[in-house]
Amino acid sequence: MCQSLPLDASLWHALFLLDRHIADQVHDQGCPHCAGKLYVANYPRKPRGVKRDIVGPHYSQRFSFCCSVCRKRTTPPSVRFLGRKVYLGAFITLISAGVHGLSPEQRAAVLDEQDISAQTLHRWRRWWTYYVPASAFWRSLSGWFSPPIQYKTLPGALLDRLKGSTLALRLRQLLSLICPLTTLSCPLYPEGAYKNSQDVIVTV
């Protein structure tokens, strides 16, 4: 998987459009804390993992808002960024999935190829295998899977359970499903890309 990352420009543009759609919904709802009007206050970002000429200039910012009344921040869920991680979410997901089950030598070769430290990979794997399964969101989502997904196999097993003829399509679906985990300041999650998780999940 690591040697065939779907890094074409169409994937990154589709993720940007989905992020903008989610941000527009959050903006229209107003401040979740006091119902005040939200103003644009995007965060600057310098994402790593993919060359800038591939992702385009849109990836230099993460959508965020500031309330005109209470001044509190509201950062919408994102399919591009996993919280404050500097590497892009799609890149983190694919590398984390690709190294599962590899021998130490094979894993070292992947790290060298992608210029990633072992400590960085450990943090990504820990996020996927500890933080995600422990979240209330994942516990509610995991009920859709039959048989259940073993947390140690994330995120690869989740990619395998999603419908889609290409890896890029399944990756977009995965990032859409988990995007509520990418923010702590937006408690009112708007209607996302999928109204019903069962529409994109394969049960075996």
> Which pLDDT belongs to residue 92?
94
Name the pTM for this structure: 0.88
pLDDT digits (tens, 9 = 90+) for 57-91: 899 999 999 999 999 999 999 999 998 889 999 99
Residue 162, pLDDT > 80, answer: yes
Domain ranges of the chain: 2-193
Residue 194, pLDDT > 50, answer: no
Between CA 23 and CA 42 the distance in angstroms is 11
CB 183 within 8 A of CB 76: yes
pLDDT digits (tens, 9 = 90+) for 40-60: 999 999 988 888 888 888 999
> Which pLDDT belongs to residue 1?
42
> Which pLDDT belongs to residue 43?
95
Between CA 165 and CA 108 the distance in angstroms is 30
**Mean pLDDT of all residues in the chain?**
86
pLDDT digits (tens, 9 = 90+) for 92-119: 999 999 888 888 898 899 889 888 999 9
